[in-house]
Chain A
Amino acid sequence: GAGVSQSPSNKVTEKGKDVELRCDPISGHTALYWYRQRLGQGLEFLIYFQGNSAPDKSGLPSDRFSAERTGESVSTLTIQRTQQEDSAVYLCASSYGLDPYEQYFGPGTRLTVT
Chain B
Amino acid sequence: QKEVEQNSGPLSVPEGAIASLNCTYSDRGSQSFFWYRQYSGKSPELIMFIYSNGDKEDGRFTAQLNKASQYVSLLIRDSQPSDSATYLCAVKITSYDKVIFGPGTSLSVIP
Contacts and interface: CB of A to CB of B under 8 A. Distances in A.
Interface of A: 31, 33, 35, 41-43, 45, 48, 50, 55-56, 91, 97-98, 100-108
Given A101-B32, A101-B49, A105-B45, A45 B100 contact: yes
Contacts of B45: 105
Given A55-B96, A56-B97, A91 B43 contact: yes
Interface of B: 32, 34, 42-46, 49, 88, 90, 92, 96-104
A104 B46 CA distance: 7
Contacts of B90: 103
Given A91-B43, A101-B32, A105-B44, A43 B97 contact: no
A5 to B, nearest CB: 11
A103 B46 CA distance: 7
11 contacts: A33-B99, A42-B88, A42-B104, A43-B88, A43-B101, A45-B98, A48-B97, A50-B97, A55-B96, A101-B34, A103-B90
- Nearest first, the 3 closest Cβ-Cβ pairs linking A and B are A42-B103, A105-B43, A43-B101
Contacts of B88: 42-43
A97 B97 CA distance: 8
A102 B42 CA distance: 18
B44 A33 contact: no
Contacts of A35: 101
B97 to A, nearest CB: 6
